[in-house]
Amino acid sequence: MKNLLVLSLIYLVGISFLLIFNELTYRRLSPAGEVTRKFAHFSSVLATVPFPYIFPSHWYVLLLAILFAIVLFITQHSKLLESIHDIERKSAGSYLLPIAIYATFLFADLQENKFIYILPMLILAVCDPMAAILGINIKTYNGRIKIFGRKFKKTWLGSGSFLLSSFVISIIALYFHRGVFDLKTFWLAMLLSLITMVAELVSWRGSDNLSIPLSAAMILVLFL
């Protein structure tokens, strides 16, 4: 119990340092708020990947998620952490992120399968920021996606990079998890990449922070 509390404290301190570094970079170099926001997303989500090997109960993760949400609320209303909150669009993504981490962890814990948490978090950590950065910063031959007359806010390059990176991460992770590279490893990786890309495509106001990991977790439960 004592060791777990110490580990929880270490995680809080570590993530705090990441956010402080991100904020100092934002104030010193003045990059776009979307860039520093996605860096914070990448680093903080990636730091949670080992959670199933550290915390035996979802209650510890719930406590960390609540504390993180409180920090986000306070900093947003006190004009702190502009590196995260300084974006033009309206988004609830920062608040949905701790919910997504806890919900995915709880889902995997109930299934007694750590992999159901780990792979969705890897996809969320890497693919979502990659799609956003490429979609925002590369304009040439990169229009917004239009399907059956409906125009989405996502771009072809952003969604394409999400699909490719999600497939690569999934096929590598599935290979190490299953211990074999066969047809199931291939089609399951492709299904995961397609479903998570669609979840990212149709989301709005940051809801992809929740829809991406939960849709990936559901696919793993159904087909793994």
Per-residue pLDDT reduced to its tens digit, 7-24? 777 777 777 787 778 778
What is the b/e burial string over 17-26, where b = at least 16 CB atoms within 10 angstroms of the residue's CB?
ebbeebbeeb
Cα of first residue to Cα of last residue in the chain, in angstroms, is 33
User: Residue ranges of the alpha helices (H) in the chain?
Assistant: 2-29, 33-48, 51-54, 58-77, 82-85, 93-111, 115-137, 156-178, 183-202, 208-223
Across residues 147-160, what is the average pLDDT? 74
Distance of CA 221 to the CA centre of its chain: 19
Measured in degrees and rounded to the nearest 5, phi and psi for residue 195 equal -65, -45
* Domain carrying residue 94: 2-223
Total count of domains within the chain: 1
Across residues 106-120, what is the average pLDDT? 96
Rounded CA separation 34/137 (Å): 10
User: Environment class of residue 148 by beta-carbon count within 10 Å: exposed (0-12), middle (13-18) or buried (19+)?
Assistant: exposed
Rounded CA separation 57/61 (Å): 8
Q: Assign 148 a pLDDT band (cuts: 50, 70, 90).
A: low
Q: Assign 142 a pLDDT band (cuts: 50, 70, 90).
A: low
- Cβ contacts of 78 within 8 Å, gap of 6 or more: none
Query: Which of helix, strand or coil describes residue 152?
Result: strand
